Structures are given as structure tokens and as C-alpha cells.
Amino acid sequence: MRRLFDLDADPVAVSATLRRDPALAPLVDAVPGMRVPGAVDGHELVVRAMLGQQITVAAARTAASRLVAELGEPVPGGEPALLFPTAAAIAERAHGALRGPRRRVEAIRAVAAALASGELDVHAGRDPDSLRADLLAQPGIGPWTADYVLMRVLGHPDVLLEGDLVLRRGAEAVGIDIDRLADRAAAWRPWRSYAGMHLWRAATTTHHQGGTR
């Protein structure tokens, strides 16, 4: 639970670093205790990340719901809910539950098979560099997905999802030159994951507030 809710974060240190950037300071002041959400299950997070590649959040949620509806097992004890399907179930029986281009569907099933067999080992105790290399070696997993997994499963505090469209939209909304985002973000180390959380939030809140330029 501590990992899931990032309860061991140091919001004072994070805020002090991020406030040095005038574009981030108002965002930090609005939500000074922003945390990076963890993940209950590494296998589920990898599959959800792959489902969410190059589609909207709403579409990814629909795809995950369909997968659970068709392959999920009932929660023990008679609760009216389904568990997220196991990697083995996705690899073996996800023929009709996955939609989209055939190459993408096959990649998800191949990664699920690697997770089920133990070839791809995703858990909170992994070394970040080693896990990233293992993820990038899998079909259909690129830098965004690998880094997202590091941030959520390992709780890595210094991940910059530079190519994330929503993050870039948030950066642009607060006046950051997105063509120089990586250079600008060097000053946010070692808390770039937290900066990303603020920029994701800015992508929606600044739209309603008229921007913060």
C-alpha cells in the first residue's frame, strides 16, 4: 500500500526542486503533495500500458474493460466483480477480446506469454536499467511504455515521458517550449516523474482556467 500511494515520497524535497522552474511553481503551489501512483500488479500494468499505446484514455479503458469482461475470473467470496485476467489467459485465450491491428494484438499476446512463462519478470524489486532493457526487447514495447512501467511499477522518481502527448500538451499550456522539453527537464532531476504528474494535471486544468502563461 505504501508503494501504491507513494507514501514514502518527500514532498518537501520534490516541491523545493520543481518550484525553481517558474513554469512549474504555480502547479506545485496548487498541489504541493502530488504523488506518483504505483501499481498493484506488474503484469496487469504492462498489459494496460500496451493497451493504451497510441489511443485515448477512454479507448484504453474500454479495451481493458472488454478484456476483463471476457477473460476475468470472479473475485473469490461471491463479490460481483471480476479480476484482471492473468497473463496466461491473455496469451492463450485473448483472440476475440483484443481489438485493433493484428500486429498490435499479437504483440500483446506475445508479451503476455513472456510474463506468464517468467521470461519477462516485472516486479517492484527489479533494477530499473535491467527491467527497461528487458521490456524494450519485447515486441510492441517502445520507450514510452518501458518508462511508464518503470515509473508505475518501480516507483522510479526520475522518469520523463518526453513523447507523451498529454504531458507535452500540459507543458505547452504553461509556456514550456516542448521542442526543448528534455533540456528544460534536466533541472527537474531527480524528480522528473513528479513534474510529469503536474504537467499531466496542467493539460486539463489550464484548459478550464484559461491557461497559466
CATH for the stretch 11-37+158-209: 1.10.1670.40
**Each residue's pLDDT expressed in tens, for the chain with a length of 213 residues:** 999 999 999 999 999 999 999 999 999 999 999 999 999 999 999 999 999 887 888 888 999 999 999 999 999 887 789 999 999 999 999 878 888 888 999 999 999 999 999 999 999 999 999 999 999 999 999 999 999 999 999 999 999 999 999 999 999 999 999 999 999 999 999 999 999 999 999 998 864 443 332
pTM for this structure? Answer: 0.91
CB 113 within 8 A of CB 87: yes
State the fold for domain 42-153: Endonuclease III; domain 1 (1.10.340)
Active-site annotation holder among 6, 134, 147, 164: 164
Instruction: Indicate if 147 belongs to the active site.
Output: no
Domain positions in the chain are: 11-37+158-209, 42-153
CA angle 192, 148, 10 (to 5 degrees): 40
